[in-house]
């Protein structure tokens, strides 16, 4: 266990129901209305993830989403450091093949949130040392949203949670039923795409997920 940090930019409670957007699940609805419904249903964190969008598209989407996301719900952009900087998002989420955590911290400054995807304890320790505020660990279960995601088992998830003093959020195939598997792992929350955004009633899906997560975490 590392020594405790002086302060947290990202409180563990904020990671409880972490909504990751994906335009391919919207089915004719706008992203803004879907994210609003997710927030109204209890999403505690939002990540704008659009792998096909340009930096300027992301900045524009970020501006629109900011208007519907409550001020106390952190809002980060996936992968694109420049978009996060220009759009003045609350931070960025980077993977192992994106901008390094140190670079994200240098560019965004000390106040912003930097989340990092990790799959091993060594990566978790490195990201934590480099100034990450939270870690995303997955994929816990196979998922159609990202079929190429490498598997991470529950034992590794627990080891990662024990090895760092920053909060960890699990991702990949999590829904109202599968979140039960997170009990006792030490995670701060669950990050979900399709269990929210593929639902016909996103508000209701968020409520159900939030209750299911509250029962196990
Ligand atoms: C909360 C959270 N955890 C993990 C990921 C995956 O990020 P990354 O490895 O950068 O992969 P892509 O999202 O870019 O496909 C995430 N986005 N969010
Ligand atoms: C964006 C993403 N990253 C993953 C990883 O394991 O790194 S899994 C994933 C998609 C999660 O989608 P769903 O909630 O629909 O399963």
Which range is least confidently modeled, 76-85, 99-108, 116-125?
Answer: 99-108
Residues contacting ligand 2 via CB (< 6 Å)? 20, 117, 138-139, 143, 145-146, 149, 171-174, 192-195
Each residue's pLDDT tens digit, 50-98: 999 999 999 999 999 999 999 999 999 999 999 999 999 999 999 998 7
Q: What is the set of active-site residues? A: 49, 117, 146
Portion of the chain with pLDDT greater than 70, in percent:
97
| Global pTM value | 0.97
The verdict on ipTM greater than 0.95 is yes
Residue nearest to atom 9 of ligand 1 (CA): 95
Q: Does residue 145 have a known ligand-binding role?
A: yes
Each residue's pLDDT tens digit, 172-210: 999 999 999 999 999 999 999 999 999 999 999 999 999
Let me know if 207 is exposed, middle or buried by CB neighbors in 10 A (0-12, 13-18, 19+). middle
Domains (range + CATH), the chain: 14-216 (3.20.20.70)
């Amino acid at each position: 266990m590392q020594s405790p940090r002086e302060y947290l930019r990202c409180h563990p409670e904020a990671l409880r129901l972490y909504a990751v957007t994906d335009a391919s699940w919207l089915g004719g609805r706008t992203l803004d209305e879907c994210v609003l419904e997710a927030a109204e249903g209890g999403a505690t964190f939002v990540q704008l993830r659009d792998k096909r969008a340009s930096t300027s598209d992301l900045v524009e989407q970020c501006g629109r989403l900011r208007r519907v996301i409550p001020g106390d719900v952190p809002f980060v952009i996936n992968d694109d450091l420049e978009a996060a900087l220009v759009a003045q998002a609350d931070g960025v989420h980077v993977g192992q093949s994106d901008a390094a955590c140190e670079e994200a911290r240098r560019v965004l400054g000390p106040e912003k949130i930097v989340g990092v995807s990790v799959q091993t304890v060594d990566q978790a320790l490195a990201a934590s040392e480099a100034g990450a505020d939270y870690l995303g660990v997955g994929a816990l279960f196979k998922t159609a949203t990202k079929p190429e995601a490498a598997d991470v088992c529950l034992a590794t998830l627990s080891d990662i949670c024990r090895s760092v003093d920053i909060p960890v959020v699990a991702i990949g195939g999590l829904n109202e039923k599968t979140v039960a598997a997170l009990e006792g792992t030490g995670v701060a929350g669950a990050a979900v795409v399709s269990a929210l955004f593929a639902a016909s009633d996103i508000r209701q899906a968020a409520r159900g997920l939030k209750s299911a997560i509250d029962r196990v975490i």
